[in-house]
Every structure is written in C-alpha cells, then in structure tokens.
Amino acid sequence: MPGLDEIGEFGLIERIRARRRAADEDVVVGMGDDCAVLRRGSILEVLTTDCLVEGTHFQPGWLSMEDVGWKALAVNLSDVAAMGATPRHALVTLFIPGGIAAEDIDSLYDGVEACAAGAGVVVVGGDIVRIDGPFAVSITLSGTCERDEVVTRSGAREGDVIVVTGRLGEAALGMEYLESGRRPAGPAAERSAERFRRPVPRHEEARVIVRELQPTSMIDLSDGLASDLWHILDMSKAGASLNAEAVPVGEGVVDWFEGDRESALEFAVRGGEDYELLFTMSGRHGDALAGAAARTGLEMTAIGRITPREAGFVLAAAGAETRVGRGGFDHLKGLREHRKEV
Amino acid sequence: MPGLDEIGEFGLIERIRARRRAADEDVVVGMGDDCAVLRRGSILEVLTTDCLVEGTHFQPGWLSMEDVGWKALAVNLSDVAAMGATPRHALVTLFIPGGIAAEDIDSLYDGVEACAAGAGVVVVGGDIVRIDGPFAVSITLSGTCERDEVVTRSGAREGDVIVVTGRLGEAALGMEYLESGRRPAGPAAERSAERFRRPVPRHEEARVIVRELQPTSMIDLSDGLASDLWHILDMSKAGASLNAEAVPVGEGVVDWFEGDRESALEFAVRGGEDYELLFTMSGRHGDALAGAAARTGLEMTAIGRITPREAGFVLAAAGAETRVGRGGFDHLKGLREHRKEV
C-alpha cells in the first residue's frame, strides 16, 4: 500500500472518486469540480466545502481570529465564484481546543460575518465541537444560478483564450514573509501580506465574466496556476500553451526576487492561495475582455491558448518551450514540504 | 468573560445566533433547528452538518474506520429525518493525522458508502486535509421536501401527544460498555453495543410519520430525551408532562441497572446518541399511531402531552411530579464530564 504522502491530496480524491456510487439524476456535476452542481426544481444549486486548520493552513500567530473567520468563508466564496454562481447560505463548523475563550469565538464570527455581509451570504447553521488538537473551521457554502449560467472545468476547447484575473504569487509571498520572519517595507509588500491574510474572493467579478465573456471553463486559483490549469486540462481533455511573458506577476514578488523575472514567474505560477479566477473563452469574445476588466476594476490578462490534448501543457518564453508538470500546492503535504517545492 | 466550559455548546450557539445577520427571503428556517430550510425554486431544501472527532465523540479503538464512516453520515441522516425530508447529497471532509494509511481511508469510505446506499444518498464532494491532531470527519448533508411537508421544532401546541420511536438509552449504554471495559453477554447487550457503533437513522420512518401522522414538531434524539425535548419546548413556547412509566427504556439498560427502573429511566432520558425521533401530533391522529408503527416496524410510544409554557417540563410517576431541567449530552463538555452527569 502506498503511504498518504506519496499519494497526496489529489491521488486520494481520485481513489475516492473511483469508489463512489453512481450519481442520481439531480447531480449535474459531482466530485472533481470547484463545487458540486445539483438540480433543485427549476434552478441549479452549487455546494462546496473547505476548511482552515491551524498548523496546516496557517501557523499560530499568523492570523487573528477575525482573519481566520474571514478567510474560511472567502476560500469557499472563491469556489462558488468559479462556478459562476451567486453565493447564498453557509454552515460553519468550529473545532475548538481548550484555552479558547468565548470572546475569541466572537471575533472569529465577526470575521465570518464581515466577509458574509460583503457577499450577501447568510449563515444558517453549523456545528461546534471540542477538539483535543488544533483549532479548525470548516465551512459549507451553497450558491444558486440559472441553468445556462453554470461554468465547470470541463468545457475548454482548442483555440480558446486562457485568461487570469489579478496578479499571481502575492498570497504565497505573504506566507513567505510569515515563514521567514522577514518582510520588506512599502505598499507592495503590505498588499502581499494582506492577500494571504484576507483573500478577496471574486464572486461578483465572476458574474460579470459569465454574462459578458461566456467562459467555456473556469476554476479558482487555490493551489497555484501550474496545478489548477491542469485540472481544467484534465477535465476538458485539452492541452495549453502559456505565454510566460504575459503571466501577470505580483509587484511584490518581482521585488522579492530582486528583479529576477524567471524566479518570480516560477514562484508565482507555483504559489497557492491567490483565489483569482482562471478561465477560458472563445477568441470571438476577446474584444469584450477590456470592457469586463474595466467594469469590475479587476485586471484580466490573456495568458495563452488551449491546444490539443497531445500537445500537453507548455510555457513558452523567448522562443523556447518548457513542459509544465503537475505541481503546485498540495495541502496534504503540509506547509513545510510545500515550501521545499517552491 | 465566562469560559467555554461554563457556557457550553448551547450557550455558544445562542451567542452566535444573537450576532448573526438577518436572513434573506429564501431562508425558511435558519439556525436553531435540526437543519436549515432553504427555498430553492418550487421545492424546499434542508441542509445540516455534523462531525465526529476522535477523543471527543469516541476514543481510539472504540470504532473501526468503517464504523466512523457509517456513523458520521448516520448522525446527519438523523437530522434530515427530523425535518421530514428525503436525504439527497453529501459532502465529506476528512481531517487526517499522520500514520493513517490510504487503506484506512478506503475503509472509512466503505462505511460512508454503505450508509449512503441504504439511504439513497450520493456523495458529491468534500475536502481532505492533514491535521496535526485527532482524526475527524465532518459531513454536510442536503435533503429535499415539498413545501407542506417540512417539520420544525416550533409547531408543538398544547394538548398535542408526545411520541418517541424505539427504545431509549441503548447507545449511551453501548458507550458505557466501552468506557468501563465491561460488557454483559447476551443479545440485549449486543444490540446496545451496536447502537452506539452503528446508529440506524430513521429517515424512511420519518417520511411515514409525516404522511400518516402529520406531526406538529419533530427532533432527533442526539443529546438525550431530557435535553432534546427542551429544544421543542423552547422553540414552540410550550411545556410538557411526560408519563415516566410510558417512556420506553432499552432492555439492556434495565438489565444494566439490575431491574432498578428509576435509575434505568434516568439513564435513558439523559443518555445521548439514540438517534430516534421525538415528535408531537394532534390527539386526533392518535388512532393512526399503531398503523404507522406496524408499517415501519418501529415502536412508536405516546409518552406524554404538551402543556402550557408556564407548566414547564415535568415527569409524572406514581402520582408525584418531578421537574426536569435542561440536562443531557453537551458535546462541548467532553466525554468525561458527560459521564459525570449521567
């Protein structure tokens, strides 16, 4: 039997998928996307769950209780955004070790509610349980959308343009600051620190993208572009060619690598927790990209094209092509091993 | 600030409820019932989440991985049953410490799937995360029902009959065997051990109850009758008078207390994890009770009446009345303290 460290999170998900029962007629999308998609009468519901565990996703002292509450909901909002759905209702489960005061829980809830208020989400239930271990928060979030609006990972077609929102690598850099205990001064570093602490999910921007750009596939960047694009390629049975020079790298990341663009790029495409959106769209809608970007105030950058499956995933730079393997941020391997990979 | 141990799980839920945002128009029932109830187009969805944590809900060696998987889904099925809904789709989150092999996860999933298959539930997603702490499973379960079928905790009216399914105290006794390391021989003890290990949720029986008995309120017995009936009374602003002699106590419990009926009764009404149903119904439907019991093969026992709020919650035995306080199984206090209470 292989050990869990060899299999990793994605290998384990594959094992579980292979063992699951057949879906019923109301399961539009089951395991393997950002959310499950379920038919509920005339509408579609998306359902997702994600958790934050101290010692796994963050170390003691890195985040305030309010940050933890905010982030635990934000990472779920990002998954609902990736389906093009409107976030609606949340269940919040708290795993509470000894030594946590009631006012800590209040602060955590303030963080959840601050994030929920911005997204129009209502917390409708949950669970509270003592744990003889680390503090953890697990949130389930539902969303709704019309039938023709849901966007999965499986619709990318050869020739589609690959687009990413925002700039990459900032959240991973924010974590790097915390791990190294070294953080430069200035607004770029400030912004990177904030991106790790309080990711801003792109659920409103996702609705604009769905309406104006008709994406053929979409995913949120939780594990890093290199890893997450693979999910779209695997589900869509496609390949990709990225233009290395076009990939938008966070300003702080370029600073951190003292202008070494190649190292900064590798860090940015491997770093996790950006919670930006990665989507594909027909080249026909290319002219609408600038308008959607302007309307949302969010950078949207065309970084490459979908290619045939057999072409694989390549990064093209200055005439040379590099093949990209399945890397990225695998939470099961833990923070330490992740940092080794970067 | 009060400590968490003083506040307890229910106190904490109250604090959180008091801080929550106003519900939106699609929230039919928010926090405070077995499930949230959400309007999804023409149907109602119920949504609930419950978890099992090693060291909190069970000790190492008490349950096989298959048992943990089964039970983690079963406790959620019980909550969906209590709303009168049909269970549909589940998300399964695993918190995995070091030292757990991939085949352990397979076994856990076999337990989830065995329970899911019996209930017509499909697992549509989840999360897998490493934890530097105890093994834990958190499941979110959805269900659906027609608008006129959902049953909450708040509809009990004065004069309604109080009914409980099955026999009480067996699961708590099964835990007592494990804690004391002492277990009598014989089928009654065997059954009690099994009830703790693999609770059988009453979701199919709940559908019969809804159709044939038109319950005014319903809850599943997770924390013990004494505690759970209080939830109905608080939400319905009602009181209750129970007939102590009518309360059905598990055979093994009576044996354990060597025929001391009073001690057995106290154990049974305070013991948690029965996952039977407690409901109220109009006396008009009283004649239908025997038929519903026969059709489901499940004992259904009328154990008392709903009274005015000011009458409180009393247990009547041999002419004398005992007032019942808010006791029962509070998971936040942990196993040890729970056992002190019993």
Could you tell me which of A197, A317, A149, A200 has the C-alpha nearest to residue A247? A317
What chain A holds in terms of domains, given with CATH numbers, is: 4-145 (3.30.1330.10), 161-341 (3.90.650.10)
The CA distance from B100 to B105, in Å, is: 8
**A337 CB-near residues (< 8 Å, 6+ apart):** none
Q: Which of residues 16-35 of B touch A (CB under 8 A)?
A: 16, 19-24, 26-27, 30-31, 35
**Residues of A in Cβ contact (< 8 Å) with B331:** 128-130
Q: Please indicate if any CB of chain A lies within 8 Å of the CB of B8.
A: no
Q: Which of residues 143-202 of A touch B (CB under 8 A)?
A: 144
- Alpha helix locations (H) across chain B? 4-19, 65-82, 102-119, 170-180, 187-197, 203-213, 225-236, 251-256, 261-270, 288-296, 334-341
**Residues of B in Cβ contact (< 8 Å) with A138:** 49, 51, 93, 127, 138
The CA distance from B156 to B154, in Å, is: 6
Q: Please indicate if any CB of chain B lies within 8 Å of the CB of A136.
A: yes
B70: tokens are 């089964």
Beta-bridge partners for B323 = B314
pLDDT > 60? residue A342: no
Mutate to test the interface with A, among B15, B43, B93, B124 (most CBs of A within 10 A): B124
Residue of B nearest to A112 (CA): B20
Give the range with max mean pLDDT: A60-64, B163-167, B186-190, B281-285. B163-167
The pLDDT mean for chain A works out to 89
In this structure, the strands spanning B136-145 and B86-96 are antiparallel
Q: What is the pLDDT of residue B9?
A: 64
A51: tokens are 């958790």
Q: What is the pLDDT of residue B320?
A: 84
Give the minimum alpha-carbon distance from A295 to chain B in angstroms, rounded to a whole number: 27
pLDDT digits 0-9 by tens, B5-55 = 566 666 766 766 666 566 788 999 988 889 999 999 889 999 999 999 999
Could you tell me which of B328, B233, B340, B267 has the C-alpha nearest to residue B9? B328
Q: Please indicate if any CB of chain B lies within 8 Å of the CB of A42.
A: yes
The CA distance from B206 to B43, in Å, is: 18
B211: tokens are 């159709």
Whole-number Cα distances in Å, A294 to A168, A204, A208, A210: 19, 14, 11, 15
Q: Which residue has the tokens 């060619």?
A: A241
**B294 CB-near residues (< 8 Å, 6+ apart):** none
H/E run at residue B44: strand B43-53
Q: What is the pLDDT of residue A341?
A: 25
- Alpha helix locations (H) across A28-90? 65-82
**B247 CB-near residues (< 8 Å, 6+ apart):** B164, B168, B225, B265, B268, B269, B301, B303
Q: What is the pLDDT of residue A322?
A: 85
The arithmetic mean of pLDDT across residues A16-30, rounded, is: 76
Residue of A nearest to B126 (CA): A49
**B265 CB-near residues (< 8 Å, 6+ apart):** B244, B247, B249
Within a 13 Å sphere around the CA of A86, how many CA atoms are in the beta-carbon half?
A: 11
Q: What is the pLDDT of residue B172?
A: 95
pLDDT digits 0-9 by tens, A67-120 = 999 999 999 999 999 999 999 999 999 999 988 888 999 999 999 999 999 999
Q: What is the pLDDT of residue A211?
A: 93
Q: Which residue has the tokens 């390949």?
A: A239
The CA distance from B68 to B51, in Å, is: 10
In this structure, the strands spanning A313-317 and A320-323 are antiparallel
Q: Which of A40, A45, A95 sits opposite B136 (nearest CB)?
A: A95
Could you tell me which of B172, B141, B136, B123 has the C-alpha nearest to residue B275? B172
Q: Across the interface, do B129 and A332 touch by the CB < 8 Å criterion?
A: yes
Whether the Cβ atoms of residue A28 and residue A107 lie closer than 8 Å to each other: no
Q: Where are the beta strands (DSSP E) in chain A?
A: 27-29, 36-40, 43-53, 86-96, 122-130, 136-145, 161-165, 217-220, 239-243, 277-281, 300-307, 313-317, 320-323
H/E run at residue B45: strand B43-53
Could you tell me which of B236, B252, B266 has the C-alpha nearest to residue B186? B252
Alpha-carbon dihedral B59, B61, B64, B70, rounded to 10 degrees: -10
Q: Which of A212-216, B141-145, B147-151, B287-291 has the lowest mean pLDDT?
A: B147-151
Supply φ then ψ for residue A223, to 5 degrees. -105, 0
pLDDT > 70? residue A2: no
The CA distance from B205 to B165, in Å, is: 9
The arithmetic mean of pLDDT across residues B239-262, rounded, is: 94
More confident residue, B3 or B21: B21
Q: Across the interface, do B1 and A101 touch by the CB < 8 Å criterion?
A: yes
Angle separating helix axes B261-270 and B170-180, nearest 10 degrees = 100
**Residues of A in Cβ contact (< 8 Å) with B127:** 49-51, 138
pLDDT digits 0-9 by tens, B269-318 = 998 999 999 999 999 988 999 999 999 999 999 999 999 999 999 999 87
Q: What is the pLDDT of residue B333?
A: 39
Q: What is the pLDDT of residue A324?
A: 86
Could you tell me which of B62, B54, B53, B341 has the C-alpha nearest to residue B175? B62
Q: Across the interface, do A124 and B7 touch by the CB < 8 Å criterion?
A: no
Whether the Cβ atoms of residue B248 and residue B191 lie closer than 8 Å to each other: no
Cα A219-A267-A228 angle, rounded to 5 deg: 15
The CA distance from A273 to A329, in Å, is: 9
pLDDT digits 0-9 by tens, B45-72 = 999 999 999 999 999 999 999 999 999 9
**Residues of B in Cβ contact (< 8 Å) with A35:** 125
**Rounded to 5, what percent of chain A is helix, strand, coil?**
40, 25, 30
Q: A with B: how many residue pairs have Cβ under 8 Å apart?
A: 249
End-to-end alpha carbon distance in chain B = 28
In angstroms, how far is CA B179 from the centroid of its own chain?
A: 21
Q: Which of B47, B100, B133 sits opposite A4 (nearest CB)?
A: B100
pLDDT > 50? residue B341: no
Identify residue B284 by its one-letter amino acid code: R
The arithmetic mean of pLDDT across residues A53-61, rounded, is: 93
| pTM, two decimal places | 0.88
Q: Which of A16, A93, A134 sits opposite B109 (nearest CB)?
A: A16
Q: What is the DSSP string of B74-94?
A: HHHHHHHHHTTPEEEEEEEEE
Supply φ then ψ for residue B164, to 5 degrees. -125, 145
pLDDT > 60? residue B342: no
pLDDT > 60? residue A333: no
Whole-number Cα distances in Å, B20 to A110, A114, B2, B40, B154: 9, 11, 20, 22, 20
Q: Across the interface, do A45 and B45 touch by the CB < 8 Å criterion?
A: yes
**Residues of A in Cβ contact (< 8 Å) with B122:** 20-24, 27, 30
B241: tokens are 């008078």
Identify residue B70 by its one-letter amino acid code: W
Q: Please indicate if any CB of chain A lies within 8 Å of the CB of B39.
A: no
